[in-house]
Amino acid sequence: MKILSLIESELSFLTLRASGPGGQRVNKVETAVQLRFDIHNSSLQPKAKERLLQYRDHRISQDGIILIKAQRYRSQDKNKQDARERLVSLIDKATKVQTKRIPTKPSRTAKKKRSISKKRTSLTKELRKKPSLE
């Protein structure tokens, strides 16, 4: 994975209460983090911005804002770090150029084996027929 440096001022964090188990603590401590990243106002290269905006992902809104909610850990700092890592991996995935697949062709021996197999099947079916009287 490529190391991508993000400017901290371009990221905005919103803390919220996490869902799931945790007893009374979960109702009073805001450990979940929601990261907001505005693609249009970022310092990314124009090509990267364009590819990100065209990338189809439910975390990217139509306004060009990436929203990532992190609540995997019980500590807010770990969740912030997790959100940053997920943002970097999303940007890497979106900006990675897909190489076009070149379809392979069957080899000469594979064609020969297929031909022999077809002939064998044909012969088997031919032998199942009733003999002609002529």
d(CA 62, CA 10): 18
Tally of domains in the chain: 1
pLDDT tens profile 37-90: 988 888 888 888 888 888 888 888 888 888 999 989 888 899 999 999 999 898
pLDDT tens profile 7-34: 778 888 988 888 877 777 777 888 899 9
Alpha helices (H) in 1-134, listed in sequence order: 25-28, 46-54, 76-95, 108-128
Mean pLDDT of the 105-129 span: 96
Residue 31 domain-assigned (yes or no): yes
Residue 128 domain-assigned (yes or no): no
Residue 105 domain-assigned (yes or no): no
pLDDT at 3: 47
pLDDT at 5: 64
Residue 70 domain-assigned (yes or no): yes
Residue 111 domain-assigned (yes or no): no
d(CA 79, CA 110): 54
Residue 116 domain-assigned (yes or no): no
Write the CATH number for 12. 3.30.160.20
Residue 100 domain-assigned (yes or no): no
Greater model confidence, 58 or 103 = 103
d(CA 73, CA 85): 14
Instruction: Say whether pLDDT at 118 is over 90.
Output: yes
In this structure, are residues 68 and 40 in contact, taking their beta carbons and an 8 Å threshold? Answer: no
Instruction: Say whether pLDDT at 1 is over 50.
Output: no
Give me the long-range contacts of 72-76 (CB less than 8 A, separation at least 24): 73/31, 74/22, 74/31, 75/31, 76/15, 76/30, 76/31, 76/33
The residue range of the domain holding 81 is: 8-95
Residue 118 domain-assigned (yes or no): no
Task: Name the phi and psi angles at 26, rounded to 5.
Answer: -65, -25
pLDDT at 55: 82
